[in-house]
Each structure stands twice: as C-alpha cells, then as structure tokens.
Amino acid sequence: QLKEGGHEVVGTGLTRVKKGGLVSLDLEDEEAIKKLLSTERPDIVVHAAAERRPEECDANPGKTRKVNADATAVIAAAAHKAKAWLLFVSTEYVFDGESPPYAEQDKKNPPNLYGQTKSDGEEAAIKATGGDCGILRVPVLYGPLEKIAESSVTALAKLVFPRTKEGTRADHWQIRHPTHVGDVAKAVLGLCAARARQGKSVKGAFHYSSPQSFTKYSLTVIIADILGVDVPDNHLIPDSD
C-alpha cells in the first residue's frame, strides 16, 4: 500500500525473501541492520517483524528476546542516527487482558514472554529515540498466509476441519477483535502520512483494531460455516467459565 501511494519502499525479510522481492535481513545481525539503514537513509522505518508463536517463544526465549526486544533497540538507534522516524508495530499483549478495553496510556502488564519482550521493545524504542517514535499496538491478526497455523484465527479451522471430536470446548468469554493485515497496513500508511504532514507532533502509542468483537467459540462457528462443515452442538461446546 505504501508503494501504491507513490512512496519508495525497501522491504526486508528473511525466510520469504525470494517470494516477496524483499531485501534479506537477519534481525539477529546488528551490523547488517546498521549498514542497511545507513545505506538507504530512509525517512520512515516501519518495524513490523516479531517472534510471536507461543511454542517458539517458550522453546527459544533467548532468541525471542533478541528478535522482539534487542533488535528493536538496534533498529531504533540506527533509525534515529539516520534521522528516520521509527514506527514500531507492537501488540495488545503488553496488557494482561483483565480489564479491557485499554487506552494507550494504561499501565502495561504482559501476561507472557511474547508480551513482555514486545513491551521491552517499546521501551527500547522510546529510549533510543528520546520518545520521538510511534508505537502501533494491534490485536490478533489474520490475512494471506502459507500455513493455516500462522494465524491464531485461521488455526481455529483445525477444530472443525476435520470435524471436531465430541465434547471439544472453546472459550466463549474472552473478547477478541481479530483484524485483517490489510487494515493494519492502512493504519500504518495513515500514521506515516500524518507524520510527514505534522512532523514531531505525531509520536507515542496508538491502538488499532477492528470494531467487531468475537470469542474463540463464535469465531470457530463462523469458520465452520465458511468451510461448509456441520458441527453438532455436542461436538463444539461454548466454555463460558
């Protein structure tokens, strides 16, 4: 969408570089990050990469911290040195979810390693830029993917296809606002455009999500309908406890 808006864009990636026409960049390679930013001299840096998979976070906490927190500190410092504005895409998991909805200034209390490292990344970005950066917190996302498990939204299809076993319970109390990545891209574009127009008045934390709310159970029912799978009531049970 940035390219469609007439902006010159250099995208980076690691495992999917060949498919997306991206520049290869390993976020664990500090020197490579510094070299890229000093060479390209961008006006704005959008840092959207993260290790968010729960199983990977738990299995490799050190790598999770390097990617989500340490790399963010390096990117923020390099962007600041290059006089580029940093927009760091963070997560609603910097909050524990006990008292939603949350305002941008609410006290953070991450419930897991992913949330903690993203929170640490936020603080690192603020420190490295003297507070002159943007932090965009988003909820659970969905969109184009290679594997169904890449999004916790589409992963729910595993409960209905093949048909879930009798007695399977699905959370029907925790509210979620699943948001399409295309809409997040529009929010990113909007913030970048606002920064270009209004300068340093555009900074700090921002929240963005779809207005529609669902539970895991209601999402699963919708996915079953889309897939054309008839799931009997005694197979998928709403868990309201």
Q: For residue 45, what are its two tokens?
A: 């840096």
- pLDDT tens-digit map of 30-81: 999 999 999 999 999 999 999 998 889 989 999 999 999 999 999 999 999 9
Q: 3-state DSSP: the chain helix, strand, coil percent, rounded to 5?
A: 45, 15, 40
Please name the helix (run of DSSP H) or strand (run of DSSP E) that holds residue 90, with its range, or none.
strand 85-91
The single-letter DSSP state of residue 68 is I
The dihedrals phi and psi of 38, each to the nearest 5 degrees, come to -70, -30
When mean pLDDT is compared across 19-23, 98-102, 152-156, 167-171, the lowest value belongs to 19-23
pLDDT of 105: 97
pLDDT of 163: 62
pLDDT of 193: 94
Tokens 């406890």 locate to 241
Q: How many CB atoms lie within 10 A of CB 190?
A: 12
Q: Are 124 and 71 spatial neighbours (Cβ–Cβ below 8 Å)?
A: no
Of the candidates 183, 177, 187, 238, the one whose C-alpha atom is nearest the C-alpha of residue 211 is 177
Collapsing DSSP to helix, strand or coil, 6 comes out as coil
Terminus-to-terminus CA distance in the chain, angstroms? 42
pLDDT of 187: 97
pTM of the model: 0.92
pLDDT band at 211 (very low <50, low <70, confident <90, very high): very high
- pLDDT tens-digit map of 127-177: 999 999 999 999 999 999 888 888 999 999 988 876 667 778 899 998 999
Which DSSP string corresponds to 162-185? TTPPTTEEEE-SS-B--EEHHHHH
Measured distance CA(199)–CA(85) in Å, rounded: 10
User: In Å, how far are 20, 38, 49 from 118, measured between CA atoms?
Assistant: 25, 25, 11
Beta-bridge partners for 88: 47, 135
Q: What is the mean pLDDT of the chain?
A: 92
pLDDT of 162: 60
Measured distance CA(222)–CA(64) in Å, rounded: 33
